[in-house]
Chains A and B, each alone.
Chain A
Amino acid sequence: EVQLVQSGAEVKKPGESLKISCKGSGYSFSSYWIAWVRQMPGKGLEWMGIIYPGDSDTRYSPSFQGQVTISADKSISTAYLQWSSLKASDTAMYYCARFLGYTSRWLDYWGQGTLVTVSS
């Protein structure tokens, strides 16, 4: 069974750093891209960026370039999303999801989401 299991909810202060994770199982983790998607409270879905764990090829949406860092460790089938200095506006639910090919970027399996709350 394909699963993407994300790390638990986080409560942080502005300026703090954070790294959340997404662990894949039930499929060849290195052979599928992982996407990160943001959903701010009561809002829609925003595509943040993607990584191919097989070679760590990473692409960012222009809105998120320089704001976050996406990485992966294929040896433990885990992808990461990290911030060096959180802002209150980073408060959101963050989802990881997988897709097979760069030209077929529909997301067929999703993680359960990680809620990040940034508040002083």
Chain B
Amino acid sequence: DIVMTQSPDSLAVSLGERATINCKSSQSVLYSSNNKNYLAWYQQKPGQPPKLLIYWASTRESGVPDRFSGSGSGTDFTLTISSLQAEDVAVYYCQHYYGSITSFGQGTKLEIK
């Protein structure tokens, strides 16, 4: 099974600064036949269900602010928030959907410095 490992487990960033969260898969989630990375990102605020941010590693879900972006390929992926806003305080999860088994990373808690 593919194991998803996020880093760091938590980080604190100043308002207006860039936040970067990493996700590494134990094997490639790039499907060669369509050149797509089977990787999504979610945001979960306290007391709420997760919210989809990104799929196919870099495609932003409709309505998601453009300060959120996803990048990477193969086994290494990054979620970047270009200018942190107060409402971005949350736990962020990556998820792979390659093959028949799906799993999430352990989560990264993002706070304001």
A-B contact count (CB 8 A): 54
Q: Which of A36-75 contact B (CB under 8 A)?
A: 37, 44-47, 59, 61-62
Known contacts being A44-B93, A95-B50, is A105 close to B102, with CB within 8 Å?
yes
| Chain A residues whose CB sits within 8 angstroms of the CB of B103 once the complex forms | 46-47
Residue interface bits A3-42, CB-to-B below 8 A is 1, else 0: 0000000000000000000000000000000010100000
The reply to whether A106 and B40 form a contact with Cβ atoms under 8 Å apart is yes
What separation, in Å, do the CA atoms of A95 and B49 have in the docked complex? 7
| Chain B residues whose CB sits within 8 angstroms of the CB of A59 once the complex forms | 100
Tally of chain A residues near chain B (CB < 8 A): 21
Tally of chain B residues near chain A (CB < 8 A): 22
A107 located at the interface, meaning its Cβ lies under 8 Å from any Cβ of chain B in the complex: yes
The reply to whether B97 and A106 form a contact with Cβ atoms under 8 Å apart is yes
Chain B's nearest CB lies how many Å from the CB of A116?
15
| Chain A residues whose CB sits within 8 angstroms of the CB of B49 once the complex forms | 95, 97, 110-113
B28 located at the interface, meaning its Cβ lies under 8 Å from any Cβ of chain A in the complex: no
| Chain A residues whose CB sits within 8 angstroms of the CB of B40 once the complex forms | 106-107
Q: Which of B16-64 contact A (CB under 8 A)?
A: 38, 40, 42, 44, 49-52, 55, 61
The reply to whether B50 and A110 form a contact with Cβ atoms under 8 Å apart is yes
CB-defined A-B contacts under 8 Å, sample of 28: A35-B102, A44-B93, A44-B104, A44-B105, A44-B106, A45-B50, A45-B93, A45-B104, A45-B107, A46-B104, A47-B103, A61-B101, A62-B101, A95-B49, A97-B49, A97-B50, A103-B38, A103-B97, A106-B40, A106-B52, A107-B42, A107-B50, A107-B52, A107-B95, A108-B61, A110-B49, A110-B50, A112-B49
